[in-house]
Amino acid sequence: MTEQPKADEAGVILGPFRIRRLFQKTLFGVFALFGFIGVATASLAVYTVDTQLTQEYVSNSRDIAKTIADSSVDILLNRDLAALQSLVDQFVEIQGIRYIYITDETGEFLAHTFVPGIPEEILASDTTDTATVERSLPGMGDFVEVGSPILAGFAGNVHVGMDTGLIALKIQRAIGQQIYLICAVFVVGVFAALWFVNLAARPIGELLTYAANLVQRGGDAPEARVLERQDEAGQLARLFRLVAGGRRD
């Protein structure tokens, strides 16, 4: 919808017409486009980061569990549990690993890193099972736990718990960075859209002003700058003047 333009004392419409609806539609289009891009890229990022990080962490955990299992054989056979605990303590310093426990072939705990005690959920679980499981431990968080047998399980099993909260944190960071980028692009896009809309709207406004003057004054309408334009607005203005009975260039 266009706004009613001002006119001088002689009835010449001065314009300019303000092109609001076109402007609003363009802005809405920009918002919609960026919203769609934002949601789509964020979703893709969440999926990609989550999948790849989880796979990487699980893979690393398996490697670590296997390394501990391989390193533990002699220590376990020597029944040197202090050395076993020392080994476990070194691995638990790796980022993302929140707990490690080692059980013997009967399921008895020989070394672990839990404070103040072994969680009930883990005590109640089948510690001879080395399959990857997801655990939610009250007061500790959510974990992906992987296992590895020691001497094919005849000497016990190693279990490594990776903190999925860390994965969530990394996803949050990745999404956060993406949102910052999209916001920055959005602001630039809005200003660019405004500039382009104004650029496109100015000749249309001049054309509207000229057309209104033609309607008001017929062939006596004053010359307008839009008539000099070589683009579609200029051609349209000249056509209007012809239709209104004005001179032909």
Partner 1 sequence: MITRRSFAGYGLFGALLAPRARGLPVSDSEILLGTSAAFSGPSRGLGIELYRGAQACFEEVNRQGGVFGRKIRLRTYDDGYQPDPSVKNTMTLMLEDDVFGLFGYVGTPTVTRVLPLLKKFQDRSILLFFPFTGAQPQREPPYGEFAFNLRASYRQETGGLVDNFVRVGRRRIAVFYQADAYGRSGWAGVRAALARHGERLAGEATYRRGTKFTSTMRRQVEILKAENPDAVICIGAYAACAAFARDAVDLGLTVPIANLSFVGSENLLKLLAGVREDSSRYTDLLVNSQVVPSYEETSIPAVREYRELMQRHDPSPPKELVTESYTAFAQSFVSLEGFLNAKLMTEVLRRLGPEPSREALEAAMFTVQDFDLGIGESVSFAPERRQGLQRVYYTVVRDNRFVTLTDWHERFAKT
Please state the closest distance from residue 158 (CB atom) to partner 1, in A: 15
> Which residues face 100 on adjacent strands?
160
Least Å from the CB of residue 124 to partner 1 = 15
Residues 90-129 that bind partner 1 (CB under 8 A): 111-118
Q: Does the protein bind partner 1 through residue 60 (CB under 8 A)?
A: no
Instruction: Confirm or reject binding of residue 80 to partner 1 (CB under 8 A).
Output: yes
Minimum gap (Å) between residue 86 Cβ and partner 1: 4
Query: Per CB under 8 A, does 54 bind partner 1?
Result: no
Min dist CB 31 to partner 1, Å, is: 49
- With binding defined as CB under 8 A, does residue 67 bind partner 1? no
- Based on the shown chain and the rule CB under 8 A, indicate whether residue 216 belongs to the binding site for partner 1: no
Of the residues 53, 64, 76, 84, which one makes contact with partner 1 according to CB under 8 A: 84
The reply on whether position 242 binds partner 1 by CB under 8 A is no
Beta bridge partners, 163, equal 143
CB of 108 to partner 1, least distance (A): 9
Angle, alpha carbons 173-175-181 (nearest 5°): 105
By CB under 8 A, the count of residues binding partner 1 is: 18
- In the complex, the smallest distance separating the C-beta of residue 123 from partner 1, rounded to whole angstroms, is 11
Q: Is position 31 an interface residue for partner 1 (rule: CB under 8 A)?
A: no
Q: Which stretch binds partner 1 (CB under 8 A): 50-58, 74-82, 148-156, 231-239?
A: 74-82
Q: Binding to partner 1 by residue 34, rule CB under 8 A?
A: no
Surface-to-core class of residue 209, CB atoms within 10 Å of its CB (0-12 exposed, 13-18 middle, 19+ buried) = buried
Structure-block tokens of residue 136: 């939610």
Nearest residue (CB) to partner 1, 81 versus 242: 81
Q: What is the DSSP string of the chain?
A: -BPPPPB-TT--B--PPPBHHHHHHHHHHHHHHHHHHHHHHHHHHHHHHHHHHHHHHHHHHHHHHHHHHHHHHHHHHTT-HHHHHHHHHHHTTSTTEEEEEEE-TTS-EEEE--SSS--HHHHHS-TT--S-EEEEETTTEEEEEEEEEEGGGTSEEEEEEEEHHHHHHHHHHHHHHHHHHHHHHHHHHHHHHHHHHHHHHHHHHHHHHHHHHHHHHGGGPPP-GGGG--SHHHHHHHHHHHHTT----
Task: Give whichever of 24 and 90 is closer to partner 1, judged by the CB atom.
Answer: 90
Q: Which is nearer to partner 1, 48 or 86 (CB)?
A: 86
Interface residues with partner 1 (CB under 8 A) are 78-86, 89, 111-118
